[in-house]
Amino acid sequence: MAQKTKILRRIISSISNHGLLVIFVSVLFVALISIIIAYHFKAPDHLIMTTGFENGSYAIFGERYQNILARENIHIKLLLSSGSVENLQRLNDKSYNVDAGFVQDGTTSLSDANNLVSLGAIGNSPLWVFYRSQETFNYLSELKGKRIAIGPAGSGVRKFAIDLLKLNNIADPPTVLLDLSSAAANKALLAGTVDAVMILGAEDNALVKELLYNPKVKLMNFRQAEAYTRLIPALSHVVLPQGILDVSKKMPSHDIHLLAVTTNLIVRKDLHPALIYLLLGAAVEIHSNAGWVNNKGEFPSPKELSFPSSNYAERFYKSGRPFLLDYLPFGIAAFIDRTILIMVPVAIILIPLIRSIPWLYSWRHRRKFYHWYRELKNLELEVMESPEPEDISGYQEKIDHIEASINRISVPLAFFEEVYRIQEHVALVRGKLIRLGNRSKECNP
């Protein structure tokens, strides 16, 4: 090993200034190409997010993401929607150019998510069933024949509402199902033109709060919540604790069992990694606190539900976002991170090539001697096959020609050892010729 290192140092020291310049220019060229590619694929300074209906939980979440990413000079354009189903349609339809959106678990299948990935579950959206009645309802079957607002087409709540009502055999007449928006449904319930309203939303939802604190409206306690989660796996069983709304007034007066749907933050697969990390950082800031139906730190979570998880999200949940984003402005950090990402595969190719440079350099100069070694060997074979005295003068001329040609070879100082070695071999062959000539003289005085 020490001998190889010594030879390598000698080779490197003998490389001409021209050779060093070639190596330097090559490395600089690779770095320049990587920077150009990184610049071409630099992170955009904007993205489009599809949220939910006005004043709903998803619309509120979207505004928070918008404010947080604005700190990094990233502009988020928010698109209101009817809910989860429409959000998924927009994400799958390239004509909308939507980059991110909120989608509830259970509203899609993996076949619908070929170009989409999840950045994790960001929270539970409880299903609130509000009603006006002198009686207390604990079972959906008790709403048979009532006028029920189940949300507009394209909303997640409508899908789950129909599934639940069908399980209870009350989705058909005499029950009346109304496709009202949440705002319109609230007004209708308070006006008495509908009997019950089904809403999906977190505690940030102003429409949910409006009905929760209204003394004329009751909230259904799902006595069969656990059974529903077994029949509809996308639903989970959560509890609204006693006193969570107002501890001093003991609101609610007892634990209320609810059903909830997990909400995912979904993005397109081709979204720039730097923007993904910013969204994930915002998700931690927005969703990690304790809520009415979840504990602190429960969300965001890398739960794999209806969508495949993003590789960047998995890395984020294991080790956090790239450290450059913590110390440099977003634009610079994203550019450096992308450049490094591009240079890694280039380096994988370049390093073996660089390691082969000494060998190639050595081979380039040693090959100058290979031809004359072959000529020496051929001359030896000729002498062995035809050692006649009359041929000796021709052999002498050949050995003189080989020696003169070797002396004209130009090599760096590190390869003079090769010159001396081949000269020793020339001398050995010449010595054989001299001894052969002397023997022929002795035999023919």
Angle among Cα 105, 270, 114 to the nearest 5 degrees reads 45
Contact 74, 104 (CB under 8 A): no
pLDDT at 22 over 60: no
In a domain, 31, yes or no: no
Highest mean pLDDT among 26-40, 44-58, 348-362: 44-58
Examine the domain organization and report whether 127 and 259 are in the same domain: yes
Residue bearing tokens 């990402």: 341
Indicate the residue among 290, 321, 352 that finishes a domain: 321
Examine the domain organization and report whether 305 and 277 are in the same domain: yes
From the list 245, 300, 247, 248, the residue with the least C-alpha distance to 276 is 300
Contact 133, 195 (CB under 8 A): yes
In a domain, 71, yes or no: yes
pLDDT at 342 over 80: no
- What total of structural domains would you count in the chain? 2
Neighbours of 374 (CB within 10 A): 10
213 phi/psi in degrees, rounded to 5: -95, 5
Residue-wise pLDDT for 58-94, tens only, equals 999 999 999 999 998 899 999 999 888 899 989 988 8
- Over residues 2-29, mean pLDDT: 53
In a domain, 251, yes or no: yes
- Over residues 223-249, mean pLDDT: 94
Residue-wise pLDDT for 357-399, tens only, equals 666 767 776 777 777 778 778 777 777 777 666 667 777 788 7
**Beta-ladder partners of 266:** 101, 118
Looking at per-residue pLDDT, the higher value among 348 and 172 belongs to 172
The pLDDT value given to residue 308:
86
In a domain, 38, yes or no: no
The pLDDT value given to residue 358:
67
Contact 275, 43 (CB under 8 A): yes
Which residue type sits at 61?
A: F
What pLDDT band is residue 143 in, cutting at 50, 70 and 90?
very high
Examine the domain organization and report whether 213 and 294 are in the same domain: yes
What is the CATH number for 310? 3.40.190.10
Q: Tell whether pTM > 0.85.
A: no
Per residue, what are the HEC states of the chain?
A: CHHHHHHHHHHHHHCCHHHHHHHHHHHHHHHHHHHHHHHHCCCCCEEEEECCCCCCHHHHHHHHHHHHHHCCCCEEEEECCCCHHHHHHHHHCHHHCCCEEEEECCCCCHHHCCCEEEEEEEEEEEEEEEECCCCCCCCHHHHCCCEEECCCCCCHHHHHHHHHHHHCCCCCCCCEEECCCHHHHHHHHHHCCCCEEEEECCCCCHHHHHHHCCCCCEECCCCCHHHHHHHCCCEEEEEECCCCCECCCCECCCCEEEEEEEEEEEEECCCCHHHHHHHHHHHHHHHCCCCCCCCCCCCCECCCCCCCECHHHHHHHHHCCCCHHHHCCHHHHHHHHHHHHHHHHHHHHHHHHHHHHHHHHHHHHHHHHHHHHHHHHHHHHHHHHCCCHHHHHHHHHHHHHHHHHHHCCCCCHHHHHHHHHHHHHHHHHHHHHHHHHHHHHHHCC
Examine the domain organization and report whether 312 and 379 are in the same domain: no
The pLDDT value given to residue 184:
93
In a domain, 331, yes or no: no
Q: What is the mean pLDDT of the chain?
A: 82
The pLDDT value given to residue 29:
56
Tokens of 292: 């009415």
pLDDT at 297 over 60: yes
Examine the domain organization and report whether 164 and 228 are in the same domain: yes
In a domain, 146, yes or no: yes
Examine the domain organization and report whether 98 and 187 are in the same domain: yes
Examine the domain organization and report whether 65 and 154 are in the same domain: yes
Examine the domain organization and report whether 389 and 359 are in the same domain: yes
Q: Point out the least confidently predicted range of 8-17, 120-129, 387-396.
A: 8-17
Angle among Cα 157, 291, 316 to the nearest 5 degrees reads 90
Residue-wise pLDDT for 243-292, tens only, equals 999 999 999 999 999 999 999 999 999 898 888 989 999 999 999 999 89
The pLDDT value given to residue 160:
92
Angle 330-385/2-14 helices, nearest 10 degrees? 100
Residue bearing tokens 């404010």: 67
The pLDDT value given to residue 258:
97
In a domain, 273, yes or no: yes
Contact 432, 380 (CB under 8 A): yes
pLDDT at 186 over 60: yes
Examine the domain organization and report whether 105 and 161 are in the same domain: yes
Q: Point out the least confidently predicted range of 234-238, 295-299, 390-394.
A: 390-394
Examine the domain organization and report whether 226 and 282 are in the same domain: yes
The pLDDT value given to residue 20:
55
Residue bearing tokens 């709060």: 209
The pLDDT value given to residue 110:
53
In a domain, 227, yes or no: yes
Q: How far apart are the first and last CA of the chain?
A: 57
Percent residues over pLDDT 90 in the chain: 41
Which domain, by its residues, includes 403? 2-26+342-443
The pLDDT value given to residue 428:
79
Examine the domain organization and report whether 235 and 130 are in the same domain: yes
Examine the domain organization and report whether 15 and 76 are in the same domain: no
Distance in angstroms (rounded) separating the CA atoms of residues 85 and 81: 9
The pLDDT value given to residue 282:
94
The pLDDT value given to residue 65:
97
Indicate the residue among 321, 351, 377 that finishes a domain: 321
